[in-house]
Every structure is written in C-alpha cells, then in structure tokens.
Amino acid sequence: MSEFFFFLTAILAIGGAIGVITLRNPFFNVLALVCHLIALAGLFLLLRAEFVAFAQVIVYAGAVMVLYVFVVAYVGGQDEPLHAWDGPGQKGIAALFGGLLFVELCIAILGTGLKAVSGHGAPYEAGFGSPDQIGELLLTRFLFAFEAASVLLLIAAVGAVVLARRRGGIHEGEQRLSFTDFIRPIGTGTMHEGVQGTTGTPAHEPGRDESAPSKPERVGIGAAPDEGVRP
C-alpha cells in the first residue's frame, strides 16, 4: 500500500510541477502548484514527518497560495512581451550559474548521508518529527535561521504594502476585473461584462460602430421612443 501511495504522490508532484511551468493561465498555474505542494505533503507522511506534512498544507498550500491568488488578481495576469537581455557576458554568467547548480546537485546526490540509507530505511528515534522535537531544534540549534526567516517574511509583507500604496489603486483608463475573468476570456459572459452593464457602461457589441452618436435615453413614463426628453 505504501508503494502505491508513493508512486501516486510522486506522479502528482511531477505533474503539478510541469503544469506550473507549462500552463499559460496564471490561475491554473496556482492550482497546479497547490497540487504539487499537497503531493509533497503526502511524501512527507511516508517519511513519518507528520508535522512537516501538516505545515506544508497549512502554510504553503493554504496561506501562501491565497497570497499568490491575491497577487494574480492584483497584477491582472495579462500577457506581456518578454524583452531579452543582451548585456555583456550573458552566456558566461549563465554557464557559471549552471556549473554551480551542477556541482551542488553532485554534492547532494553523492553525499555520505544518502549512502547510510538501506533498503529498510534509516533508523529513527522515538518522537522523530514531532512538534516538540522540531520546536526545540528551531529555538536552540537553528534559532538564527528561524529569526532570519521571520524578518524576511516581515520585509516581504511591508514591501507588498508599500507597492500597493505607491500604485494608488486603479489609474485612469484601467478597469477593475473580477477574479472569474482570469478563468474565462472576455466575450463569453463573464462577471466583468455584468459589472459594466450595471454601472452604465455599455459592453461592446459585434458590428456596432463606436464612433456613431448614441440616441438619447428615454426618460419618463409614456414618452415616445424618438421623442427624447422634453423641457
């Protein structure tokens, strides 16, 4: 049963990761990332790391994904042209970072820690992965890294607030889109078109000449269609 669960979560994790980098709709990218994170939580359960698995679902698949959804809704998810960087030494810098990544992967794969794992798994102590043991390690051995991560998250939150205040809401010529407009394209009866109809802004109709003057709106009870408004 554990082998089936391992292959199931592994396939979901790989498929979700591929979906994140291949799908063009930002909303579907977020859903693929949620699928990937939940599959990783299942792998953590197989490693008897229950606390890490629950934290993976609550923090990453929950709170962080909500933040991503708000960012996608705020930015708009519009397709923008990518501009290539033609700076000096571009290929050299890319080769340098690629080489460093290759060396890091070799060290991780050929490390002595992986050689100690047998076919039955490495032995673990009682209480391994429990909240008590993880909390003790975070507040004693890894206290500096824990506090540095909290400061980094605080800086990210303050930066998001500063960017939102600097933008000043919606500029002239922009329109506030509904979250459902990122799922279905405009022209298929989205909520964005319904909002336009309620606010008095006529939606674009196929074959309609936008430059032609519109007829005055009929006001009053019993007025003829072509009479308009009488003084």
Please give the chain's pLDDT, 231 residues, in tens.
788 889 999 999 999 999 999 988 888 888 899 999 999 999 998 888 888 888 888 888 888 888 777 777 776 655 556 566 666 778 888 889 999 999 988 888 777 665 555 556 566 677 677 788 888 888 899 999 989 988 998 898 888 778 777 655 555 555 555 555 555 544 444 444 444 444 444 545 555 555 555 554 444 444 444 444 444
What is the Cα–Cα distance from 6 to 212, expressed in whole angstroms?
64
Assigned token pair, 112: 């002595």
What type of residue is 74?
A: Y
Token pair, residue 32, equals 């693929």
Q: What is the CATH number of domain 1-78?
A: 1.20.120.1200
Q: Which two three-digit tokens encode residue 73?
A: 């809704």
b vs e for 28-48, b when ≥16 Cβ sit within 10 Å of the residue's Cβ?
Answer: ebbbbbbbbbbbbbbbbbeee
pTM of the model: 0.51
∠ at Cα 63 (7, 2), nearest 5°?
A: 15
Closest CA to 60 of 159, 153, 154: 153
Angstrom CA distances, 58 to 35, 61, 73, 146, 161, stand at 13, 6, 21, 18, 23
Q: Tens digit of pLDDT for each residue in 4-30?
A: 889 999 999 999 999 999 988 888 888
Structure tokens at 147: 């506090």
Beta-carbon count within 10 A of 167 CB: 10
Which is it for the CA torsion 169, 157, 101, 10, positive or negative?
Answer: negative
Kindly report, residue by residue over 70-80, the tens digit of the pLDDT.
Answer: 777 776 655 55
